[in-house]
A and B are shown apart, each in its own frame.
Chain A
Amino acid sequence: MSEELLNEFPHVVKSEDGLLLVEADQIIEVCTFLKNKGFDFLEAISGADFEEYLEVIYNIASYSKPDRVMLTVRISKDNPILPTVTSLWHGANWHEREAYDMFGIKFKGHPKLARILLPDSWDGYPLLKSYPLDKEQKVELEDETGVEICQI
């Protein structure tokens, strides 16, 4: 499958160290192409933090055959924005929200880009390598009405 992709998108998709690197702004086109080829199962969208850049990894498989592809998108750390694929798979919604929650990666056009696993008041993005494990968080132990019920 990777050859096919490389032929179809010669300027967008590159092969490097066994990875398929895709340009950030063309990810929708590549995914649409894959989906039309039968790769209809979006397994996961994961973020990863390398010191100089962030990576977003798309695992795409198929419900009917054993093939899969792993696409990698590299984005800069200062401006981590890339388009969302929720228009292709609704399932991408939560995966992208998680990437936002953990790495601060912003997905353009996402219907509801908010924290999903951590409380809304959380400060920082915990899966970044620069986030210390023992960072103190100011946890607001209040209920929704704003009444403080306890303090840690």
Chain B
Amino acid sequence: MSDIRKVVEIPINMGPAHPATHGVLRLRLKLEGEIVREVDPVIGYLHRGIEKLAESLTYPQFIPYTDRLDYAGSMLNNLGYVKAVEELLGIEVPERAEYLRVMTTELSRIASHLVWLSAWGLDLGAMAPFFYCFREREEILNIFEMLCGARITFSYMRIGGVSKDMPEGFADRLQNFLDIFPEKLSEYETILTENEIFLARTVGVGILPKEDAIDYGVTGPIARASGLEYDTRKIEPYSIYDRFDFRIPVEHGCDVYSRYLIRVEEMKQSMKIVQQALDKIPEGEIMAKVPKKIKPEPGRVYSRVEGSKGELGFLIISDGSDKPYRLRIRSPAYSNVAALPVMCENAKIADVVATVGSLDICLGEMDR
């Protein structure tokens, strides 16, 4: 009798070409009926060897490759890299460039969260947010295009500053966007935040307790949704973040729904920062005095910024030549996905989709 009721463990393969894995993540699941007993993420399907390539490129030549790390919000990677090199060289960035950097990175963060929201909505079966979010994202991309001519791969930041100043009409357009965006954001919230179906699929799903978050080195919105008040912008303010008034949202739900709330709130905070920066931006230079040939002294530096997915770090070892001796990228998604087995333990298989989506992974950055 007992044999009949015994459930057999079924291995199931999810990915690497699966719509809900947002790229080429692959999960090996062990199922017992509907319940997931074991999750084993297999990564590396987009391992492009960026770290090795960096060793054969000069410092400025590597900037375009940072665009291709986290392609949803490339500006943040740009900033992370140039900041590390500037720390290595000891360069002071002009005031105006810093403001431009803050504005573009925060807009990039909004764009990245919008992509996340749309793709995750699709995963959960909500088609409408996809179209809404991309409408606003296109506007942000237009603003970027005005600034540097590219939509996704900007290479806007340079070692010692930024490549272009604000063109004519830029401020108006940005202001216009900032004016309409809150209204649009509330539109998404009406679709999702109190949606019965949405709540049923997200509340209490994909729990990551605070201790586990610390254990796995999780950062970004996921850590903040697990009750960790950790944000590099506040804990170790880089650039000019200490001049702005914004707050770090923290939730204690530890679940997928909290991550959603965090990201929506973050978009609002980012908007606040952009508004302040736009109001206060001073006149002046946009490039510091940088030697023609960038040759840092031998040494090493680890510099971190708050990316849209979490803490993005660059470890650069210089041997005194014009190429980095070793460049290591600490990508937030790498650590975040490592914690996936904890989140999916004993969950239903449909919840795995919701959980993976909520991580906001970006394979380019994860596999490097």
| Given contact pairs A18-B299, A48-B326, A117 touches B216 in the complex (Cβ within 8 A) | no
- Some 23 contacts from A to B, beta carbons below 8 A apart, are A18-B299, A42-B217, A43-B330, A48-B317, A48-B326, A48-B328, A57-B315, A57-B328, A63-B228, A65-B235, A66-B236, A89-B215, A89-B217, A90-B215, A90-B216, A90-B339, A91-B215, A91-B217, A91-B335, A94-B334, A94-B335, A116-B44, A127-B51
Q: Does B186 contact A (CB under 8 A)?
A: no
| Given contact pairs A63-B228, A91-B217, A118 touches B335 in the complex (Cβ within 8 A) | no
CA distance A76 to B353 in the complex (A): 44
Q: Are A70 and B47 in contact (CB under 8 A)?
A: no
Q: Are B326 and A43 in contact (CB under 8 A)?
A: no
Closest to A46 in B: B328
Residues of B within 8 A of A119 (CB): 44
How many contacts A-B (CB < 8 Å)?
82
B positions within 8 Å CB-CB of A: 43-44, 47, 49, 51-52, 56, 212, 214-218, 223, 228, 230, 235-236, 299-300, 302, 304, 311, 313, 315, 317, 325-326, 328, 330, 334-335, 338-339, 367-368
- How many chain A residues touch B (Cβ–Cβ < 8 Å)? 33
* Binary flags per residue of A23-53, CB closer than 8 Å to B gives 1, else 0: 0000000000000000011111010110000
Q: Are B330 and A59 in contact (CB under 8 A)?
A: yes
Q: Are B302 and A59 in contact (CB under 8 A)?
A: yes
A positions within 8 Å CB-CB of B: 18-19, 40-44, 46, 48-49, 57, 59, 63-66, 68, 70, 89-91, 93-94, 102, 115-119, 126-127, 131, 133
CA distance A102 to B368 in the complex (A): 12
| Given contact pairs A41-B217, A66-B235, A91-B335, A127 touches B302 in the complex (Cβ within 8 A) | no
CB distance from B226 to the nearest CB of A (A): 11
Most buried by B among A40, A43, A131: A43
Q: Are A63 and B214 in contact (CB under 8 A)?
A: yes
Q: Is the interface of B mostly helix, strand, loop or mixed?
A: mixed
Q: Are B216 and A133 in contact (CB under 8 A)?
A: no
Q: Are B52 and A127 in contact (CB under 8 A)?
A: yes
Q: Are B214 and A40 in contact (CB under 8 A)?
A: yes
Closest to A119 in B: B44
Closest to B218 in A: A91
Most buried by B among A94, A118, A131, A133: A94
Q: When the two chains form the complex, which single residue of B212, B214, B325 contacts A41, counting CB atoms closer than 8 Å?
A: B214
Q: Are B44 and A46 in contact (CB under 8 A)?
A: no
Q: Are A117 and B313 in contact (CB under 8 A)?
A: no
Q: When the two chains form the complex, which single residue of A43, A46, A64, A118 contacts B311, counting CB atoms closer than 8 Å?
A: A43
Since A43-B304, A117-B44 are in contact, a sample of 19 more A-B pairs with Cβ atoms closer than 8 Å, ordered by chain A residue number, is A19-B300, A42-B217, A44-B313, A46-B328, A46-B330, A48-B328, A64-B230, A65-B235, A89-B216, A91-B215, A91-B216, A91-B217, A91-B338, A94-B335, A127-B51, A127-B52, A131-B52, A133-B52, A133-B56
Q: Are B230 and A93 in contact (CB under 8 A)?
A: no
| Given contact pairs A63-B230, A118-B44, A44 touches B328 in the complex (Cβ within 8 A) | yes
CA distance A18 to B298 in the complex (A): 11
CB distance from A41 to the nearest CB of B (A): 6
CB distance from A56 to the nearest CB of B (A): 11
CA distance A62 to B64 in the complex (A): 31
Residues of B within 8 A of A93 (CB): 338
Residues of B within 8 A of A63 (CB): 214, 223, 228, 230
3 A-B pairs with least C-beta separation: A91-B217, A117-B44, A66-B236
Closest to B237 in A: A66
CB distance from B230 to the nearest CB of A (A): 5
Residues of A within 8 A of B313 (CB): 43-44, 59
Residues of A within 8 A of B216 (CB): 89-91
Residues of B within 8 A of A18 (CB): 299
Residues of B within 8 A of A90 (CB): 212, 215-216, 338-339
CA distance A18 to B214 in the complex (A): 28
CA distance A152 to B315 in the complex (A): 35
Q: When the two chains form the complex, which single residue of B236, B317, B338 contacts A94, counting CB atoms closer than 8 Å?
A: B338
CA distance A72 to B43 in the complex (A): 27
Residues of B within 8 A of A127 (CB): 51-52
CA distance A151 to B328 in the complex (A): 33
